[in-house]
Amino acid sequence: MNGLWAKMHKWLALAMAIQILFWFGSGLFFAVVPIERVRSEHMIAEHAAAPVPFDVAADGLLRLGSAGVTGERLEIRALLDRPVLLVHRGEERPRLFDLASGEPLSPIPMELAVRIAEADHAGDARAARVELIREAGGEYRGAVPAWRVAFDDGANRALYVAADSGQVTARRSTLWRTFDFLWGLHIMDWRGRTDFNTWLLIVSTALGLVVIVSGIVMLPSRLGYTAWRRRRRADRLNARQIPTGDRPA
């Protein structure tokens, strides 16, 4: 029986060795590197909250309501110290308005996206490259269209600004890309890197469990416990077979 377990353990461990290495290596990376640094939260510039005056908000809502602007959810906030209104309506793309003038701001132009990204990014680095992302995929899976604003800050950092809302929706860096690559290896979803319920991961995890169980089953024999029990049993059997008179005093 132990021979069967040994063969199963050996061949499954050989087949799973690389993936098990990926699991342990990526798991160690996830445990060591703070997720806040992966998300570049330490590079978010600190700004005092700019409150929107009530009268400005009220006048702006009346102005936009009179113009026929309606929505299911309204967000009033400050964008670069400018009071704005973000209107959500069903499955439609959100719309951004200047509360003070009623002027529509979305989709925001490249120049405004750069200003938003530079204001969000801590440090003295300035935008080096800007491009419009029309389809989500790769390192960005957020709302589209979005402006990708890249910085030459030593970490190949890039901020994504949603064109419809003017919000920074993602922060990417070399550290994040490394994390994302290892995450894909960890969950065995090498393309989308989001699905951890794939049949490949389920089967591989089950096989890895068999490797562990078979190793546990063989552990007593590997440690010599099984041989010790056999010797002890043989000694007891021999002791029973020795006549009483022949036993040493």
**Please, are residues 210 and 8 in contact by the beta-carbon 8 Å criterion?**
yes
Give residue for tokens 């994302």: 180
Q: What is the pTM of this model?
A: 0.79
d(CA 218, CA 5): 7
**Please, are residues 118 and 99 in contact by the beta-carbon 8 Å criterion?**
no
Give residue for tokens 């490394």: 178
d(CA 127, CA 150): 6
One digit per residue, the tens of pLDDT, for the chain of length 249 reads: 556 666 766 777 777 888 889 999 999 999 999 999 999 999 999 988 788 999 999 999 999 999 999 999 999 999 998 999 999 998 899 999 999 999 999 999 999 999 999 999 998 889 999 999 999 988 999 999 999 999 998 899 999 999 999 999 999 999 999 999 999 999 998 888 888 788 888 988 888 888 888 778 777 666 655 555 666 666 666 666 655 555 454
Phi-psi region of 165 (alpha: psi -120 to 50; beta: other; left: phi over 0): alpha
From edge to edge, which strands make up the β-sheet containing 146-151?
127-133, 146-151, 158-162, 168-172
Looking at residue 249, its pLDDT comes to 47
- Phi, psi (deg, nearest 5) at residue 154: 90, -15
- Phi, psi (deg, nearest 5) at residue 137: 155, 165
Closest C-alpha among 167, 107, 165 to residue 132: 107
Closest C-alpha among 205, 175, 133 to residue 42: 175
Phi-psi region of 193 (alpha: psi -120 to 50; beta: other; left: phi over 0): left
Looking at residue 200, its pLDDT comes to 87
